[in-house]
């Protein structure tokens, strides 16, 4: 039986309902047609020119990404600029792109659930829940007690990246909050629920000072590292829901930072 983009999108949205996306977000169909046929899916964190080049080489029909390719309204599709070049290659290659961004972040068993499991949290629940308590941002739960510096080093090794942290290196961390990507806005939520540490990315200077003043430790492992689990987990999920479709994972060239 033929599988369409629409069928694939419905599978993604069963996990990450589109209504969970935040108002400023642009999750959903980015380029292409819901009616197009799909035999090969690529899961990627971000749709870059390298991502599309690999998709073309691998005969991919659909890219399921975390970050939207088109975030702000485009006034023109200028193929001299990165987004325009990517869009041109996608259209020429007849490749559809679908993004599940903040809806996957806020899903009950989405990105932050996966992140919490990967860092070893147990008895974890949503950090900042919606009124119905079923969805929301971040997770909070418990760790086997570990000094802050040791936890930071452990995460850096696991994610193969440098991490930075705010707080006393010897502080014992047994209750932790996590938020993939940019989680500075959850500092007060983590502090109010007596977390010892917030694990996230993209921590800014003034947010670091604020956390320090509150007595909340923060580990900043970067945007890419704290969201990279999306690729393997989403790919595994799609393989169970779409068994006749080949699902591949793409990693190369997605974190622009070098240390």
pLDDT tens profile 176-233: 999 999 999 999 999 999 999 999 999 999 999 999 999 999 999 999 999 999 999 9
**For the segment 23-41, what is each residue's pLDDT rounded down to a tens digit?**
999 999 999 999 999 999 9
- The dihedral through the CA atoms of 235, 241, 244, 245 has a sign that is negative
In the numeric block, the tokens 């399921």 are attached to 64
Residue 99 lies in a domain: yes
> Which CATH number is 26's domain given?
3.40.1390.30
Do 112 and 216 share a domain, yes or no? yes
Asked if 85 and 158 sit in the same domain, the reply is no
Q: How confident is the model at residue 253 (pLDDT cuts 50, 70, 90)?
A: low
The pLDDT of 142-160, averaged and rounded, is 97
Could you list the residue range(s) of the whole structural domain that residue 181 is in? Answer: 108-220
Query: Mean pLDDT, to the nearest integer, of 109-132?
Result: 97
| 203 and 123 both lie in a single domain | yes
Q: Helix (H) and strand (E) counts for the chain? A: 10, 11
Q: Is residue 254 part of a domain?
A: no
How large is the average pLDDT for residues 126-142?
A: 96
Structure confidence at residue 43 as a pLDDT band (50, 70, 90):
very high
pTM, entire model: 0.96
The answer to the question of residue 235 being in a domain is yes
Residue 80, domain member (yes or no): yes
């Amino acid at each position: 039986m033929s599988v369409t983009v629409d069928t694939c999108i419905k599978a993604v949205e069963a996990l990450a309902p589109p209504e969970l996306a935040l108002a400023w977000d642009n999750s959903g169909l980015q380029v292409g047609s819901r009616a197009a046929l799909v035999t090969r899916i690529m899961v990627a964190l971000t749709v870059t020119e390298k991502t599309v080049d690999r998709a073309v080489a691998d005969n991919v029909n659909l890219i399921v990404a975390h970050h939207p390719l088109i975030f702000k309204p485009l006034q023109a599709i200028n193929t001299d600029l990165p987004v325009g070049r990517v869009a041109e290659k996608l259209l020429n290659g007849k490749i559809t792109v679908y993004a599940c961004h903040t809806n996957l972040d806020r899903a009950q068993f989405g990105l932050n659930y996966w992140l919490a499991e990967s860092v070893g949290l147990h008895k974890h629940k949503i950090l900042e829940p919606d009124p119905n308590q079923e969805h929301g941002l971040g997770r909070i739960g418990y760790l086997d007690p570990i000094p802050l510096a040791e936890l930071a080093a452990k995460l850096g090794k696991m994610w193969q990246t440098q991490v930075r942290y705010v707080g006393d290196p010897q502080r014992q961390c047994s209750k932790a909050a996590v938020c993939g990507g940019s989680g500075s806005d959850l500092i007060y939520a983590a502090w109010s629920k007596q977390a010892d540490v917030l694990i996230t990315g993209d921590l800014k200077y003034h947010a670091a000072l604020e956390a320090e003043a509150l007595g909340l430790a923060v580990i900043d492992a970067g945007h890419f590292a704290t969201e990279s689990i999306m690729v393997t987990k989403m790919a595994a999920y799609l393989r169970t829901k779409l068994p006749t479709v080949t699902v591949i994972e793409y990693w190369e060239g997605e974190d622009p930072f070098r240390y």
